[in-house]
């Protein structure tokens, strides 16, 4: 990323980074290069592209101009040397894991993770021969004794999310990086909830940052994608592995994501404003036992979040006073807020972790994880706050 781009603000980068006026047509929007192969004028040009490459496009599994524009945009937002787009968040995560780990490697992971990530670690990596050690979020606070013990005499990779899904716990990233690097581990962070607008883990020493582009960066719930950002040399290794595995992004998806990212900052800021007001509202309601939102001063992660985030995000969760049937009554009464198994879009949505992301765990296991039956996860959109609050009030009245 050029020094010129580094000096520009995030909204400017979101709009302009990776965007170039097409020299042939003058098109302002990045064209959709909907092609699998690219042609060559001579046999020598083909040979040079393979044996002496200078950035030529050969085959879209290996690289595509529309996808490359998206990668440049995200790299600029994260302040990284390079980025790599993949077909989904899980394609990005799995490719990074297969690049950095081998049978016999040791992976230390914070327990509060997206279910797809933790499932991949236990269902794929452990049978493959990777040792997975789990640590509760919060163990990196203070002297970090629990995390130090988990890292032991050494580790290959430390994996974290912050804030976490769905309990919105906040990892002290700088402290985790310090302990992880001391143990010889690469640090990989899933920063989907925070986005580059609220948090820049690379600036805190993280080696690789992953986002599900499906969520906030796309912002409209109409496409899937994932992205990996970090040092150029490491991203080149991940790119080679992605080409081998085949989890590439389609050019049409890249086009939609390029369009979505242009409004990222204004969307995230509005979601944050709405989420803080909703969290304060829910905290006063007798029907609500607990609100998980780091923006509340009562939240145990408030101080850590304030130190490493510019705002507290558009995600929150709350526990209603009752069991799973009570949570059902609340969400089934809502009109504006829809039940959607995703997050980060312009509309406010919710889901019940007990019957979605954590359905494989027993009620007692979920309770121990901070995911009781009455927990509702809310992804706050950009609607008028009065309309969201009115809908929530109607839902809570069902109790």
Task: Give the integer Cα–Cα distance in Å for 69 and 161.
Answer: 26
Residue 323 phi, psi dihedral angles, 5° rounding: -95, -160
Would you kindly state where each structural domain of the chain is located, as residue ranges?
A: 3-261, 264-397
- Mean pLDDT, the chain, rounded, equals 94
Q: How far is CA 314 from CA 213, 267, 273, 360, 377, in A?
A: 16, 10, 8, 26, 11
Global confidence as pTM: 0.95
Domain 3-261: assigned CATH number: 3.40.640.10
Residue 229 has pLDDT above 60, yes or no: yes
Give the total residue count for the chain: 399
372: CB partners within 8 A, 6+ apart: 319, 354, 363, 366
Query: Across residues 234-261, what is the average pLDDT?
Result: 98
Task: Give the integer Cα–Cα distance in Å for 248 and 361.
Answer: 32
Residue 18 has pLDDT above 80, yes or no: yes
Active site residues: 61, 114, 190, 215
pLDDT-wise least confident of 141-155, 203-217, 263-277, 371-385:
141-155
**Helix 385-397 vs helix 264-283: angle between axes, to the nearest 10 degrees?**
40
What confidence tens digit (pLDDT) does each residue in 54-110 have?
A: 999 999 999 999 999 999 999 999 999 999 999 999 999 999 999 999 999 999 999
Q: Are 341 and 212 in contact (CB under 8 A)?
A: no
Tokens of 212: 């599900």
- Nearest CA to 219 out of 349, 352, 353 is that of 349
Residue 397 has pLDDT above 50, yes or no: yes
Which secondary structure element, helix H or strand E, spans residue 238, and what is its range? Answer: helix 232-245
How many C-beta atoms lie closer than 10 Å to residue 109's C-beta?
Answer: 22
> Is it true that 3-261 and 264-397 share their CATH fold?
no
- Our measurement of the distance from residue 351's CA atom to the centroid of its chain's CA atoms, rounded to an integer in Å, reads 18
Q: Does CATH place domain 264-397 in 3.90.1150.10? A: yes
Residue 4 has pLDDT above 60, yes or no: no
């Amino acid at each position: 990323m050029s020094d010129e781009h580094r000096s520009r603000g995030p909204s400017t980068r979101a709009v302009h980074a990776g965007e170039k006026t097409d020299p042939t047509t003058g098109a302002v929007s990045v064209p959709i290069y909907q092609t699998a192969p690219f042609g060559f004028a001579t046999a020598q040009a083909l040979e040079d592209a393979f044996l002496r490459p200078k950035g030529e496009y050969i085959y879209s599994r290996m690289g595509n101009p529309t996808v490359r524009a998206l990668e440049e945009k995200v790299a600029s937002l994260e302040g990284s040397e390079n980025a790599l787009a993949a077909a989904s968040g899980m394609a990005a995560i799995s490719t990074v894991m297969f690049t950095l780990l081998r049978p016999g490697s040791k992976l230390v992971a914070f327990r509060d993770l997206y279910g797809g990530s933790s499932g991949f670690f236990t269902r794929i990596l452990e049978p493959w021969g990777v040792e997975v050690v789990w640590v509760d979020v919060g163990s990196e606070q203070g002297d970090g004794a629990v995390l130090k013990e988990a890292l032991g005499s050494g580790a290959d990779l430390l994996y974290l999310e912050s804030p976490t899904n769905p309990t919105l716990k906040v990892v002290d990233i700088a402290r985790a990086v310090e302990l992880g690097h001391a143990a010889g581990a690469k640090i990989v962070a899933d920063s989907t909830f925070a986005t580059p607008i609220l948090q820049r883990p690379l600036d805190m020493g993280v080696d690789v940052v992953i986002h599900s582009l499906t969520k906030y960066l796309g912002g409209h719930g109409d496409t899937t994608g994932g992205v990996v950002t970090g040092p150029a040399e490491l991203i080149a290794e991940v790119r080679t592995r992605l080409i081998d595995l085949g989890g590439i992004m389609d050019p049409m998806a890249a086009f939609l994501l390029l369009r979505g990212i242009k409004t990222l900052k204004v969307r995230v800021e509005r979601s944050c404003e709405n989420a803080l007001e909703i969290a304060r509202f829910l905290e006063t309601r007798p029907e609500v036992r607990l609100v998980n939102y780091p923006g509340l001063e009562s939240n145990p992660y408030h101080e850590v979040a304030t130190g490493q985030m510019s705002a507290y995000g558009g995600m929150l969760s709350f526990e209603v006073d009752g069991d799973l049937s009570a949570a059902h009554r609340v969400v089934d009464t809502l009109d504006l807020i829809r039940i959607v198994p995703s997050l980060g879009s312009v509309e406010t949505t919710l889901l019940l972790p007990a019957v979605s992301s954590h359905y494989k765990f027993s009620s007692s296991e979920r309770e121990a994880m901070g995911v009781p039956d009455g927990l509702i996860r809310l992804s706050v959109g950009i609607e008028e706050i009065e309309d969201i609050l009115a809908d929530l009030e109607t839902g809570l009245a069902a109790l």
